[in-house]
Structure 1
Amino acid sequence: MGDGSPWADAERIVLARALDGRAVATVLDRDGERGRRALSAAELPAWVAEREASPGSRGVRWIWSSTTEWYPALLEAGVRVARCHDLRLCHAILRDAVPGAAELRAAVQWNGAAAGETAGHTEALFSLDEPRGGPRRDDVREVLEELARQDAAVPRATDPGRMRLLLAAESAGALVAAELASAGVPWDAEHHRRILEDVLGPRRGGVPQNMGRLAGEVRAALGDPALALDSPPRLLKALHNAGIRVDSTSKWELREIDHPAIAPLLEYKRLSRLLSANGWAWLDEWVHDHRFRPVYVPGGVVTGRWASSGGGALQLPRQLRQALRADPGWRIVTADVAQLEPRVLAAMSRDARLADAARGRDLYEGIVASGAVATRAEGKIAMLGAMYGATTGDSGRLVPRLRSAYPRAMGLVDAAARTGADGGVVSTWLGRTSPAPDELWRDAQTRASRPGASAADETRARRIGRDRGRFTRNFIVQGTAAEWALAWLADLRLRLADFPQVESGSAAPRSGRAFSRRAHLAFFLHDEVLIHAPEEQADAAAQAMRDAAEAAGRLLFGSFPIDFPLDLRISDSAAK
């Protein structure tokens, strides 16, 4: 990659949209454009498949405006690609991370979601559909210009090699997100309904029976037979009328109260959350033909973590995991990474003592064995406090012990906190940068620095500075953990793509043409991955998970001796 191009390892083909609605494929080489071809919506999938299958070791990197705009139609046609470069996602990274990237910041049309994209649904601005009601604008020139801007920016990054890796990982994540939506999560709707009836009770008059019973107990205990429990202002007033002095109806505050109304109220709130988030209405909207198809948003959180704009895949309650069930003749292969963020912190800081505590065992038990704390619970509280900036209670008491035992790791997060508190910007291992200070921080610091500033102004500035420091402290760890997870996913999807296809009689047709006959990714949740695999491929899929985790560690952290152990399970469901 000595030429400065982030895609020198593959043939580059740019897909854009011509004025007449056809897709335009522009083939690039090191010297510029090598050829251009216009393709109809019907022609494009076969042409892409042919280029993917062409002999040669370099392969193809498809460059397009946004994976969400181009890839779903290819997947529907049964065509997968190995690599891509998502210009919109990469623009967001480079715009903020590369010094002096004024030309990227000026290209505001590449900021944020694509035009017409709301709640995960995209109007086909760049889709494979033929145009309706007249031609679209010509975006070929605009796409090529954005590519040129990004090509020029990458060599100016603080560490161009790491930046290239980050862009490749972010783009691979976009492919994974589209594939997860295409294959869907195998879901047993009838089992889900049985869980709802068991937990919530039968629906009678619109209110599930168990919730109705609990609501009656709360109303009786508070002496308010007409109380609407789902109205926070009315509930708070009823609590006050009953002599319960709380500032909110938060479960965290209510847990501290000793009163007959509290236990049934907390249980009612738990069931209400299940009903509203994943009840019968959710089931009707999101599960069809034995598949749940959530809408993931890669890079949807500033740290690089994914978000979800439909279906709530990142917040599935534990009790519903039993409904995530394999098709007949298939298995669910699940892998959780143990203590991902503390292990990433050890690798980032090159703290050999913390890495030793993690090697081949539970990291928190390793901290106990080092003598830094007395119990596993203390080890977990201390480590989370160090990464999230807790300064009171048990965390405040235990974190100093970690500073003594693991000075390199604690020094790294402490330095990130100081930088953030002072208004600086921090970055992840691969180079994603934290947001600049917001207006609230700037206003507080300005007021505190003026001659004659009040003690209240100075106290407010310190408090807001500490808040920002806690954010940047965690940003570097959470963001790097997200990068490791992307590297794991990217490697794993390619390993699974090399699996042979099973016989048609063993297929899972509901997973679509691209995934029905081999093991494939089905679900992702920060540090957990699920594979839906034919029974005969389940063991191999589990091994691929292990191998991909080891490869991700080497890719990011080289020879530093940190391991990422997986809790692996092969079962008919994702139940824990």
Structure 2
Amino acid sequence: MNRVVLVRRGASVEARECGDDGRVVGTARLPAEELAGFVRAREPGRVRWVWDDTTRWYPGLLDAGVRVERCTDLRLTHAVLRRSPFVDQSLLTDDETPGWDALQPVSATEAALFPLDDPADRLDPVGEHRRQRVALAAAEERSRLDLLLAAESSGALAAAEMTHAGLPWRADVHERLLTELLGPRPTAGRRPAVLEGLLAEIRRALRVPELNPDSPGELLRALHAAGLPVPDTRSWTLERLDHPGIPALLEYKRLSRLLQANGWNWLDTWVRDGRFRPWFLPGGVVTGRWASSGGGALSVPVQVRPAAVADQGWRFVVADVAQLEPRVLAGMSGDTAMAEAARSADLYEGMVAAGAVAGRADAKVGMLGAMYGGTRGESGRMMPRLARRYPRAIGLVEEAARAGERGELVHTLLGRGSPPPAGEWAARPVDLGEPADEELPREVRDRHRRSWGRFTRNFVVQGTGAEWALCWLADLRNRLWRLGSGTVAERPHLVFFLHDEVVVHTPGHLAAEVADEVRHAAAAAGRLLFGSFPVDFPLDVSVVRSWAEAG
């Protein structure tokens, strides 16, 4: 496969053909405005485009109607390689390394093809590509890293395409939902009518005529004065109280959150031309999970999802995998007993059927405790039973937790490394016999160690789950492209992705084929990560007109 490194040079672009070792074997220079045509002409062949950062290159190509099948996103791959324990860091390090470490994605399209004074322009993508190829060639578990880096870069392409196409969003439906829940749109600086009514009820019940419940300090003082000595004003704390003003207060907080997160200002800011276009950020979380910039894309509440309506003649195919992380844990640990439970559409029910626990609630609480470090209460009570039934799975997360407590690094199945722990406790060796440090008492250090152990326990599972999802997404993206014709937005295309859920926008007559391809891509992702090990990833797939109608 040919590798072509794209380099900005003022108002022009250099396209440098490279061998597999990263050495340049040919160079072409062209005006920036001719880049889209150059890429379009080369794209039907087997080419991998190499660039500093997908967010700087791909949006402009998409706007020109050019879709790229493969790329290497040097910013994302650099971040993975810098933390991977499989990589000799001396082969990756250079004077430019701090610049690559600090490079951030961009989330706005400039009027020009390339923004002015971009820190990426002070970096050499050809040199970085060569260093990465050398480091990969010498890496332990290179095949795993190759898969991770390819999936990470493909995820960057998918993210840019989702922003470009946008999630169909009916502003009129959103307006109607807000009016039904909050009342008519208020004038600037005023609360909606429903919130005003709830506010009057709260003030009467707590006997504080001027109370502003949006101020945690004021609200806490009012609750204390009413004989409710709560430590905070969080909803889960208030739910435990028995007082006539609490139901109205809880409803006020719920609707106020909706107003702030997805109210009229959100609609005015983020919905344009019938589309919601947030910026998705692959690798935005240390475990490899995605983040988003703008519009709270990864936390769209159910109250406004009815506004996500497919275009006329189109449908949404919505799919999510049940209990992704426990299934991933079964696969990465090679625990055949847990894999047997995972053959059930509901893994927790599979655990009950196997006699591991008495009920589904026990299975769920126990597994969440195992993956997130719950060692007390009900989850702690379940742990011994789970450890006896699933020794390999529970042993894997326990080993990761102990490594974290010792201040060691852990890694995912494909080689994404955990960040090093910070703080004085991490700089000191673990010695249970050493005297307590006056500045950092032993009980404080032990608390920090246990906390970091809970993080590393979950890192290995959540991070590997993110790798499975990336492989699913990458394969599905290409399967969808092969179903239709025209540009990305004219074929079946991804419009949303959240950890273990995807939403595809498709012409209605292709919806059944899209649903099949979603399932095939999930099965392929399982084989890529776990080979022939028999762990299943069943999907709940819905074909709907509105996102809210899905499962």
* TM-score, structure 2 as length reference: 0.94
Name which of structure 1's ranges 419-428 and 256-265 shifts more when overlaid on structure 2. Answer: 256-265
Which residue in the other structure is 1:555 paired with? Answer: 528
State the one-letter code of the partner of 2:2.
E
Change (3 A) 1:29 1:445: closer
The CA distance in 2 between the partners of 1:105 and 1:53, in whole Å, is 35
Alignment of 1:35 onto 2:23: no
Which residue in the other structure is 1:64 paired with? Answer: 51
The CA distance in 2 between the partners of 1:299 and 1:363, in whole Å, is 27
Correspondent of 1:477 among 461, 464, 479: 461
Alignment of 1:84 onto 2:71: yes
Any stretches of 5+ residues in structure 1 without a counterpart? 1-9, 502-512
Alignment of 1:144 onto 2:126: yes
Which residue in the other structure is 1:325 paired with? Answer: 309
Change (3 A) 1:30 1:421: closer
Residue 443 of structure 1 and its aligned partner are, at CA, apart by 6.1
Which residue in the other structure is 2:6 paired with? Answer: 15
What secondary structure is seen at the aligned counterpart in 1 of 2:27? strand
What secondary structure is seen at the aligned counterpart in 2 of 1:38? strand
Which residue in the other structure is 1:293 paired with? Answer: 277
Map 1:82-121 to 2 at 5 A.
82-97=69-84, 98-102=86-90, 104-106=92-94, 107-114=97-104, 120-121=107-108
Which residue in the other structure is 2:487 paired with? Answer: 514
Alignment of 1:413 onto 2:407: no
The CA distance in 2 between the partners of 1:460 and 1:128, in whole Å, is 52
The CA distance in 2 between the partners of 1:303 and 1:530, in whole Å, is 22
Name which of structure 1's ranges 372-381 and 489-498 shifts more when overlaid on structure 2. Answer: 372-381
The CA distance in 2 between the partners of 1:346 and 1:527, in whole Å, is 17
Change (3 A) 1:150 1:455: closer
Map 1:385-534 to 2 at 5 A.
385-442=369-426, 451=435, 453=437, 457-501=441-485, 514-534=487-507
Which residue in the other structure is 1:349 paired with? Answer: 333
What secondary structure is seen at the aligned counterpart in 2 of 1:85? strand
Alignment of 1:128 onto 2:113: yes
Conserved? CA contact 2:91–2:134, under 8 Å = no
Which residue in the other structure is 1:74 paired with? Answer: 61
The CA distance in 1 between the partners of 2:56 and 2:103, in whole Å, is 11
Residue 468 of structure 1 and its aligned partner are, at CA, apart by 0.5
Which residue in the other structure is 1:46 paired with? Answer: 37
Residue 33 of structure 1 and its aligned partner are, at CA, apart by 2.2
CA RMSD of superposed structures (Å) = 2.2
Change (3 A) 1:563 1:173: same
Conserved? CA contact 1:90–1:170, under 8 Å = yes
Change (3 A) 1:214 1:559: same
Conserved? CA contact 2:206–2:226, under 8 Å = yes
What secondary structure is seen at the aligned counterpart in 2 of 1:121? coil
Identity percentage of aligned residues:
53
Change (3 A) 1:516 1:138: closer
State the one-letter code of the partner of 1:15.
L
Residue 250 of structure 1 and its aligned partner are, at CA, apart by 1.1
The CA distance in 2 between the partners of 1:373 and 1:138, in whole Å, is 54
Residue 34 of structure 1 and its aligned partner are, at CA, apart by 2.5
Alignment of 1:24 onto 2:14: yes
Conserved? CA contact 2:332–2:413, under 8 Å = yes
**Residue deviations 1:199-253 (CA, integer Å, cap 9, x gap):** 1222345211211111111111111010001001111111111111111111122
Residue 290 of structure 1 and its aligned partner are, at CA, apart by 0.4
Which residue in the other structure is 1:264 paired with? Answer: 248
**Residue deviations 1:441-471 (CA, integer Å, cap 9, x gap):** 3367689875454798121121111100000
Conserved? CA contact 2:481–2:488, under 8 Å = no
Any stretches of 5+ residues in structure 2 without a counterpart? none
Residue 410 of structure 1 and its aligned partner are, at CA, apart by 0.3
Change (3 A) 1:446 1:344: closer
* TM-score, structure 1 as length reference: 0.90
What secondary structure is seen at the aligned counterpart in 1 of 2:250? helix
Residue 499 of structure 1 and its aligned partner are, at CA, apart by 1.4
What secondary structure is seen at the aligned counterpart in 2 of 1:43? helix
The CA distance in 2 between the partners of 1:204 and 1:295, in whole Å, is 29
Which residue in the other structure is 2:140 paired with? Answer: 158
Which residue in the other structure is 1:181 paired with? Answer: 163
